[in-house]
Amino acid sequence: MSSSTTNTTTISTAGPPSRRNTELAMLVFAVIIPVFAYANAGLALSDEMPSGMLSYGLGLGLLAGVGHLVVRKFAPYADPLLLPIATLLNGLGLVLIWRLDQSRRLAQRAKDAGMAFSPSAPNQLIYSALGVALFVGVLILLKDHRILQRYTYISMVVALILLILPMFFPARFGARIWITLGSFSIQPGEFAKIIIAVFFSGYLMVKRDALALASRRFMGLYLPRGRDLGPILVVWGMSILILVFETDLGTSLLFFGLFVVMLYVATERTSWIVFGLLMSAAGAVGVATFEPHVQSRVDAWLQPFEVAKNGGSDQIAQALMAFGSGGVFGTGLGQGNSDLIGFAANSDFILATVGEELGLAGTMGLLLLYGLIVERGVRTALAARDPFGKLLAIGLSAAFAIQVFVVAGGVMGLIPLTGMTMPFIAQGGSSVIANWALVAILIKVSDTARRPAPTPAPTTDAEMTQVVRP
């Protein structure tokens, strides 16, 4: 017993636990950068300061200020970086969308297609406001993240419904990932990713011992018992079904990847990762052999320029050209030709605009910002004291990381392109709103994790002795 207990260390944070003033300073910084970018893009596009600059800056500042005040009141010990980085990403996204709104090519394209061209930036600002409203709502209403644990199986049902519903709606742009209600449409997958992380953490917290300990060792890998393989098979089957019926590789990859990451974190068994990679590879290859939509995506990934030459979609080819012409420092905001991508230039392909106009340096900076959000999430998981909070924080940050990887990889030609959005930056209401909710839950978990332990209440005994003391 002694050998196992003697060489341990306790690591706890010293110094002021509440970092709200740091957060405020970073927030001011995070609002100034997009305003600067806005001025830069306006000067480059039309030789004058954009007219909406003041209102835009004030709008973003107001959203950030409201967020900050609510965090100060309801999550005083929360991580100081999550809110500023989310604000900065959202602000940069608004600038990039506004910049693409000014493009004459995109307006001409819309006119040729017989649609009225409507700028997306004002809508996106409204969605951002809704996102911050949800952020505020989660912080105020969710007193403790452990409450979510009670809804483990309810959240499973809700997530399944959200994932299955889009199958009954008509496909848009080749994928069934939207629910359309009149002129209004939402992408339920974005919300499902948060809800399913709640389910996985609640489920794995209860079952992880069975999954981790009851296993046989074979060739250096722990093989789980057959009946413990059940859940991973079910989730795998689900993601294959999504792939087949919704023809959406991104959502499918996101859910399966999320599950494998959480299984690994919960059980510390490398074999889950090996199994997960094998199963996802087998599933993806299997589906790609008979599903024409997935096949065309794979073709466009392997030979983007051939496909463009033969009259197929030239989006990926244009995106690659955009990255190439950006070089190291980029062409400057508003001076690139990334609007040649045409369709989805301001949503799925917005990273190509970053790549062209901000160059390698800007793209790396942006990816680092995403990395920092994920790092703060993982750090929150390390600091969290309850297993549910740990798993939830890991799950949410893993979902975020996988989503960034899937989109960025798709746009850069690393993996086949899928219809997912770059969190916070890409145009799209569901995405922005869901990601603000995700950040709110992370902030809530980190508040609980970083809160200092309560000071011991003086017992009645102690009070009495103080009377006796001379």
Helix, strand or coil, per DSSP, at residue 47 = coil
Q: Which of residues 12 and 183 has its CB atom nearest to another protein in the complex?
A: 12
Angle between helices 350-357 and 315-326 (to 10 degrees): 20
Q: Which residue type does 29 have?
A: F
Q: Is residue 460 involved in binding another protein (CB under 8 A)?
A: no
Contacts with another protein, 375-414, as mask; x by CB under 8 A:
xx--x-----------------------------------
* Residue ranges in 413-452 assigned as alpha helix (H): 429-450
Residue 231 is encoded by which pair of tokens? 């859940």
Residues 354-373 that bind another protein (CB under 8 A): 358-359, 361-362, 365-366, 368-369, 372
Residue from 85, 139, 212, 319 binding another protein (CB under 8 A): 85
Q: Are strands 184-186 and 215-218 parallel, antiparallel or unpaired?
A: unpaired
Q: Which of residues 87 and 435 has its CB atom nearest to another protein in the complex?
A: 87
* Residue ranges in 358-428 assigned as alpha helix (H): 359-383, 387-412
Q: Is residue 445 involved in binding another protein (CB under 8 A)?
A: no
Angle at 166 between CA 160 and CA 169, to 5 degrees: 150
Max CA separation in the chain (angstroms): 96
Q: Which of residues 414 and 462 has its CB atom nearest to another protein in the complex?
A: 462
CA atoms within 13 A on the CB side of 174: 14
Taking the complex as a whole, the smallest distance from the CB of residue 77 to another protein amounts, in Å, to 13
Q: Is residue 75 involved in binding another protein (CB under 8 A)?
A: no
Where do we find the tokens 């600067």?
36
Contact 196, 159 (CB under 8 A): yes
Radius of gyration of the chain (CA): 24
Residue 446 is encoded by which pair of tokens? 């980190």
Backbone angles phi, psi at 221, to 5 degrees: -115, 145
**Residue 117, C-beta contacts closer than 8 angstroms, at least 6 positions apart:** 106, 107, 110, 111
Q: Is residue 55 involved in binding another protein (CB under 8 A)?
A: no
Q: Which of residues 1 and 219 has its CB atom nearest to another protein in the complex?
A: 1
Residues 301-330 that bind another protein (CB under 8 A): 329-330
Taking the complex as a whole, the smallest distance from the CB of residue 51 to another protein amounts, in Å, to 16
Q: Which of residues 239 and 397 has its CB atom nearest to another protein in the complex?
A: 397
Q: Is residue 47 involved in binding another protein (CB under 8 A)?
A: yes
Which one of 3-11, 50-58, 225-233, 422-430 is the stretch in contact with another protein (CB under 8 A)?
3-11
Residue from 63, 64, 86, 88 binding another protein (CB under 8 A): 88
Taking the complex as a whole, the smallest distance from the CB of residue 78 to another protein amounts, in Å, to 13
Where do we find the tokens 């799209």?
428
**Residue 103, C-beta contacts closer than 8 angstroms, at least 6 positions apart:** 339, 345
Q: Is residue 14 involved in binding another protein (CB under 8 A)?
A: yes
Q: Which of residues 89 and 242 has its CB atom nearest to another protein in the complex?
A: 89
Taking the complex as a whole, the smallest distance from the CB of residue 243 to another protein amounts, in Å, to 36
Taking the complex as a whole, the smallest distance from the CB of residue 359 to another protein amounts, in Å, to 8
Q: Is residue 171 involved in binding another protein (CB under 8 A)?
A: no
Residue from 24, 27, 30, 262 binding another protein (CB under 8 A): 30
Residue from 80, 276, 389, 429 binding another protein (CB under 8 A): 80
Q: Which of residues 286 and 365 has its CB atom nearest to another protein in the complex?
A: 365
Q: How many residues bind another protein (CB under 8 A)?
A: 62
Kindly state the DSSP code that residue 184 receives in the 8-state scheme.
E
Which one of 41-49, 150-158, 161-169, 388-396 is the stretch in contact with another protein (CB under 8 A)?
41-49
Q: Which residue type does 14 have?
A: A
Instruction: Write b or e for each residue in 183-210: b if 16 or more Cβ atoms lie within 10 A of its Cβ, otherwise e.
Output: eeebbbbbbbbbbbbbbbbbbbbeebee
Q: Which of residues 35 and 232 has its CB atom nearest to another protein in the complex?
A: 35
Where do we find the tokens 């973003």?
60
Taking the complex as a whole, the smallest distance from the CB of residue 47 to another protein amounts, in Å, to 5
For residue 383, CA distances in Å to 369, 378, 459 come to 21, 9, 29
Listed in order, strand segments (DSSP E) in 142-233 are 179-181, 184-186, 215-218, 221-224
Residue numbers at the binding site for another protein (CB under 8 A)? 1-2, 5-16, 19, 22, 26, 29-30, 32-33, 36-37, 39-40, 43-44, 47, 80-81, 84-85, 88, 329-333, 335, 358-359, 361-362, 365-366, 368-369, 372, 375-376, 379, 453, 455-456, 458-459, 461-462, 464-465, 468-469
